[in-house]
Structure 1
Amino acid sequence: MHLLIFVLFYFFNSYSVTSSKVPVCTNEFTLINNKCLKLFTTPANHSAAEKTCRKYGATLVTVKNENDNHAISTFAGTSASLLWIGLYCFGNDPSKCLWDDSTGSADVYDNFASGFPLVDIGKCVYYSVQGALTGKWLTENCDLSSKAFMCELPTTFSDSCIYNYNGYCYDYYAEASFVVAQNTCEQFCGDLATIHTANENRYILTVAQHYPSSTIVRIGATWPASNVYQWVDGLPWEYKNIDLTGPRGGDCMVMSTRPPSPVAAGYWFGASCTDERNFICKRPAGLQCVGTPPSVTISPIQDNPSFCNSTNLLAPGVVTSPNFPRNYNNNAFCTYQLSTLGSYNILLRFAPFSLGTSDYVIVYDGESASSPVIGNYSGTLVPFSLISSSNNLLVVFNGNTGGQGFSARYTSYAPLI
C-alpha cells in the first residue's frame, strides 16, 4: 500500500488558467477592498456572531491596514453604529490582541481608541461606525453585550461549484478507498482535499458538516511513517491539525467532523487506506489540469510543551501535574489559564488522571475562579473530556498527598454549526 501511495504522487495534476482571474465573492458577500464582506445588522453577542460567520466558513472581519479600517465604515454606512470585529485581546496592548484568522496580533496595525484595549471591561473588540469615535476600536464584554457584526471571506474565482473558497472548489463524495477517491478527484482535475491554513481547515469542516451522514471524511494526506507526513498535491507540510492522542489506524489521514468520532471535530488522525470513507475533492476554481506536480516536501511534527502556573497558554498544548509521569510532591499547587482564538472553544481531555485521596482538579468555564465551575475531579478516573463555552478555561490543581497526577491535552474546538 505504501508503494502505491508514493507512485500515485507522480501522476497528480498541476493546473493553468483557462478563464480570466477576476476576483469574485460567494454567498452574497460583497467585494470591498479585495475582501468579501457581509454585514449582519441584528445584534448578537460575540459567540453568536462567530457562529453565524462559521456557517459560511468565514471569520469576523479582520482589519490589517488603514484601507481595511476605512472600508468597514464605508460598507456599514448607517445600517449599524457598533459592530464586532475578529480580534480578541489577552492584555492591554495591541500585541496581546490576536486576529481570528490566525494571522497574528494587531501589533503591526491597530486603531484602538485612547485607553483601549482595556481587558478589565472586556476582551472582545468592536468597531465604532459613527460619531466622534468613527473608525476606532474598543473592547467590551463578549457575552453580556450584543452588537451588529461583519463576516469576512477571501475572494475566489467564478465557478459553478457549490463550495467555492479562496480560489478552490470543494466537492463532497460518497464512500471510497484512498486510491479510488484520489482517482475520482483526478477525473475532475483535482486531488483529495489538502489543507494548508487554519481557515481552510475551518472551511472544509463547514462543508463536511453540511452532510450529517458521516462523522469522518477522507483528506489528501498520508502518514507513511512516524513523523513523516505528505500532501498529495506535493506542497510542503507547513500546517498540521493532527490529534496525536487519537488513533492511528493506518497510513491515510481523515478529518473528524462530528461525534462520535474519536477526536474533536476539525482534527485529523490516521485511518486505513482501504476502508471506504466519504471524501472531499479540491480543485482550482476556473482552472484545468495540464502537466505534472512538484515533488513532495516532508517536515517533522514538533512536540507541544506543558506548563504549571502559566497564563495565556494558547491551544494546542499539554498541561500536566508537576513531575508527570512521575508522582507529584506534597503541597503541589498549579493554575493553568488555557486560551484559544476568539472564534473557537476549547476541548480539554484528561488521560490519565490519578490523584491522591484529598487532592483535586477544578475546571472553570472562563478565565478566572469567579467563572462557572465545569467540574471538580479527584481520585482515579478513566479518560474524560470537557468543552468550554468560550475561548478560555482555568484549570486549578491542588495536591496535598502526592500521586501519579494527570496529563491533559487542550485543543481548539469548533462547535457544530
Structure 2
Amino acid sequence: MLLWIGLYCFDSDTSKCLWDDSTGSAEMYDNFAGGFPLIDVGKCVYYSVKGALVGQWLNGECESETRAFICELPFTFADDCPNNYNGHCYTFHPRAPFVHAQTTCERECGNLAVIQSEAENRWISTVANNHSLSNYMFIGAIWPYPNVYAWVDGSRWDYNNMDPTYTHSDDCVVMAIDTTTGEAPGYWFSAPCEDGYISVCKRPAGITCNATAPVVVTPVPSNPSYCNAGIIMSPGFITSPNFPANYDNNLHCVYQLATLGSYSIILRFRTLVTEPSYDTIAVYDGDSIDSPSLGTYSGTRTPFSLISTGNTMTVVFRTDGSGVLQGFNARFTSYSR
C-alpha cells in the first residue's frame, strides 16, 4: 500500500519540502529514498508500507495519481461540545455587540476566541464558513491603537493575522469568513465594537478555565514590495515597488506565491492603478509563466479576487519606459475549496 503524507516539495531539496501543518520543512528529518526528493516526477510525497521501499518517501504527481491517506488531528480532551479541536471547545453565536458577545462566552467559562496559530485560525475560518454563518465574526482581539494589540483573556500576542493592507480604524477585531465580500477568509480587520457581528467563543475542553497571562504587544512589521523575492509563502501581501508612491519605469517584477500543498490561493487586489495597456499585471495559475493565465490587468480597477486551482500562483508586473502611477497592492492567503 502507498500512502500520501502531508508534505509538498517546491524543489528537489528537503529544505524546500514543507509540511501541510505549517511546522516547517523536512530538513530536520526526512526518510526520502535515494535520489529523492525529485519534483520532476511530482511535488507531493508518499511512502510505502511494505516491499523494498517500506517506510521510505517518494514523490508523486498530486492531481493525476490517487493513493490512500491518513488524517492527523491534534490531541484533545473528551467533551460533548460539537466543535472540539486541540484541547478546546468552540461555539458560534448570533449577532451581538462585542461586550455582549464576550459576556456570553464568559457564561460558558470561556472568552471570545484567542487564536494562537495559523492552523487554529484556518480551522476556525473553515468551520465558520462551512456553517454559512455570516461575512465577518468577532474574535477575542482588541486593537485600541495602530501598533497595539491585545487578547481579551490577557494571553501573549504571538500570532497576528491582521490584513496588512488595511489601516486601524476601530477598537475591536473581526475575522472575514465569506469570500462574497471580496475579503480573503481568515484575515482580521478592525471593526466598531458597538456593531453586531456573529462571534466564536473558546473554552478549555474537559477542564476548567485557564489562568490569564500578562499581555505582550507586537509591533507591525514593515511592508516590502516582494518584487523578485523568490517564493513567498501564504499568508502575505505584494505591492508594486514604492507603493503607495508611484512605481518606476522599465520594471519586470515576478511574484511567486505559494501555500501548503493541500490548499489553493486566493489573491485579492485592493488597489490597481497603472498606465492602461502599457503597465500590466499578468496572473498565472501555477508556479511559472507557462501556467494557464488567470488574466492580464491594467488601468484603474475596483477591488477583485482571483483563486488558483492548486497551491501556487505567479504574478508578473511589467512597466514600459514612460508614464508612472500608483501601482497595486494585493494580499493572498490559503483557501480551501
Q: TM-score range by the shorter chain?
A: over 0.9
Aligned residues: 335
Q: 2:165–2:329: 8 Å Cα contact kept in structure 1?
A: no
Correspondence for 1:221: 141
Contact 1:84 1:149 in 2 (8 A): yes
Comparing 167-176 with 207-216, greater Cα deviation is found at: 207-216
Alpha-carbon distance in 1 for matches of 2:125, 2:157: 19
1:129 aligned onto 2:49: yes
Does structure 1 residue 318 correspond to structure 2 residue 219?
Answer: no
Structure 1 residues 319 and 179: CA distance shift in structure 2, 3 A: closer
Q: Aligned equivalents of 2:197 and 2:278: distance in 1?
A: 47
Secondary structure at the counterpart of residue 212 of structure 2: coil
Does structure 1 residue 408 correspond to structure 2 residue 329? yes
Segments of structure 1 that go 5 or more residues without pairing to the other structure are: 1-80
For 2:263, the equivalent position in structure 1 comes to 344
| DSSP 3-state at the match of 2:220 | coil
Q: Encode CA deviations 1:276-305: one digit per residue, 9 max, x unaligned.
A: 211111111111248x62332212221243
The answer for the alignment partner of 1:99 in structure 2 is 19
Aligned to 2:301: 381
Give the structure 2 partner of residue 302 of structure 1: 221
Residue 128 (structure 2) pairs with residue 212 (structure 1): no
* 1:208-251 per-position Cα deviation (integer Å, ceiling 9, x unaligned): 12321312211111101111111112111111111133475521
Q: Hey, what's the Cα distance between the residues in 1 that align with 2:262 and 2:121?
A: 13
Structure of larger gyration radius: 1
Q: Which residue of 1 aligns with 2:286?
A: 366
Amino acid at match of 1:266: G
TM-score by length of 2: 0.92
Change (3 A) 1:103 1:289: closer
Find the residue that maps to 2:109 and give its secondary structure. coil
Quote the Cα distance in structure 2 between the aligned partners of 1:123 and 1:327.
38
Aligned AA for 2:258?
S
Distance change in 2, residues 1:331/1:207 (3 Å): closer
How far apart, CA to CA, are the structure 2 residues paired with 1:270 and 1:112?
Answer: 45
CA contact (8 A) 1:266 1:414 kept: no
SS in 2 for 1:119: coil
CA distance in 2 between partners of 1:349 and 1:384 (Å): 6
Paired with 2:108 and 2:57, the residues of 1 have a C-alpha distance of 45
Q: Which amino acid aligns with 1:311?
A: G
Identity of aligned residues (%): 52
Equivalent position amino acid for 1:332 in 2:
L
Pairing of 1:48-197 with structure 2 (within 5 A): 81-197=1-117
> The residue matched to 2:104 in structure 1 has which SS?
helix
Secondary structure in structure 1 of the residue aligned to 2:103: helix
Deviation at 1:414, TM superposition (A): 2.1
User: 1:288 maps to which residue?
Assistant: 208
* 1:115 counterpart SS class: coil
Residue 375 (structure 1) shift: 0.4
SS of residue matched to 1:366: coil
Return the structure number with greater helix share.
Answer: 1
